[in-house]
Homo-oligomer: A and B are copies of this chain.
Amino acid sequence: MKSLEEARALDAADPLRAFAAEFDLPDGVIYLDGNSLGPPTRKALTRLREAAETEWRHGLIRSWNDADWIDLPKRAGAKIAKLIGADADDVLVCDSVSVNIFKLASALIEKRPGAVLAVDAGEFPTDQYALEGAARMTGAPLIRLEAGETPENAVLIRSLVHYKTAEILDMAAAERIASARCCDIVWDLCHATGLVPIDMTRAGARFAVGCGYKFLNGGPGAPAFVYVAREEANTMTQPLSGWMGHAAPFDFASDYKPADGAARFAAGTPPVLSLIALDAALDLFEGVDLSALETKARALGDCFLACVRDLGLEPMKAPSRRGGHVCLKAGNGHQIMQALIARGVIGDFRAPDLMRFGFSPLFLSFEDVWNAGRALADVLSTEEWKRTEFSRRGKVT
């Protein structure tokens, strides 16, 4: 992409261009961080207001039934199921990614005494931390793997799209290797769901977790999801046995009896307001072609890389199949990113030296990418990053 005109021509030919109108992004912002926190859809904002001001305020406790809050975790789960090639009943929205990894890993080890827990040493940190907790609780050893390695007799966590490299793994191939080595893979779909076509069923993948606040646009800290294939769920006892995962929570029985299927992976009462925002955001994906999303995200990223090729920044090694973001290495990356953000071009930074740019295909245009590339060139040529004030506080960026 060598000119604004070329960018505009690409936009004119973009089959997804109408979706941008479903969002209401602030003026003066080019948002390249939808892979970290998706922006709200108009519908999600409307629905959240209605949930608070009508369902909570007027309906009060009655809304658990009348507004069907009680089934939200399943309803939202069924919407996500369509995006990952799962049966509607096999996905449940609940808790956080960290907590859901703990549930799945612990329950699988309980089923398989003697198996080890395993994770790539470069995997997203909270996945590793959650496994540390599961290892301590179950007594199973936790081993760190080289990227892509598959051990014998293990329960392992693996991201379908890596949070740094954006590499998209071949799920079916990984499952074949895992099967031959007696491994169960728990897929981390955080950077994949809502961006990449996924077919858990066809790949023979039986376990997954994922988050609601990246490409699904479910809102800050939106609840996460868990997927467990039907034939597995009823053989598993997850450790966070709370009343929402009980077969009959309103019988108030003293003994825990898990619900049928993935529903047993619920624990306590879900955060309804956050859950409703996610549930509404998911409606945007109704009828969307996920292949088109992946294709456009890739094209946006390629255009960005072309725009910034001559700026002296080092792109991370390009994977053959890449998800929704690209990373550029720079020793002063944090300051450069702060200068970009001060200009309204919002990406994020991953220690120690990666500037990460996300290309969420539902609201970004090629013109946005062109302008972002120009902004980065300006920030570098003017050296304004040396003069930008920035916070050194902890960041979820």
Contacts and interface: CB of A to CB of B under 8 A. Distances in A.
Interface in A204-246: 211, 213, 219-224, 237-244, 246
A33 interface: yes
Contacts of A40: 52, 56-57
B64 A396 contact: yes
A133 B395 contact: no
Contacts of A220: 56, 63-64, 69, 269, 271-273
A99 B267 contact: yes
Interface stretch (A82-90, A191-199, A344-352, A365-373): A344-352
B272 A242 contact: no
A391 B24 CA distance: 39
A65 interface: yes
Nearest to A246: B129
Given A70-B396, A240-B102, A250-B396, A37 B24 contact: no
A252 B239 CA distance: 27
A130 B272 CA distance: 21
A276 B255 CA distance: 34
A39 interface: yes
Interface in A334-376: 341, 346, 348, 350-351
A63 B173 CA distance: 40
The winner among A48, A61, A99, A110 for most chain B CB atoms within 10 A is A61
Contacts of A24: 57
Interface string A293-334: 000000000000000000000000000000000000000000
Contacts of A391: 65
Q: Could you say how many copies of this chain the assembly holds?
A: 2
A397 interface: yes
B271 A221 contact: yes
A381 interface: no
B213 A121 contact: no
Given A95-B268, A129-B242, A224-B268, 9 more contacts: A40-B57, A70-B396, A97-B269, A98-B268, A126-B268, A133-B238, A133-B256, A221-B273, A251-B351
Interface of A: 24-26, 29, 31, 33, 36-37, 39-40, 45, 48-49, 52-53, 56-58, 60-65, 69-70, 95-99, 102, 106, 110, 121, 125-126, 128-130, 132-134, 136-138, 144, 211, 213, 219-224, 237-244, 246, 248-256, 267-275, 277, 341, 346, 348, 350-351, 391, 393-397
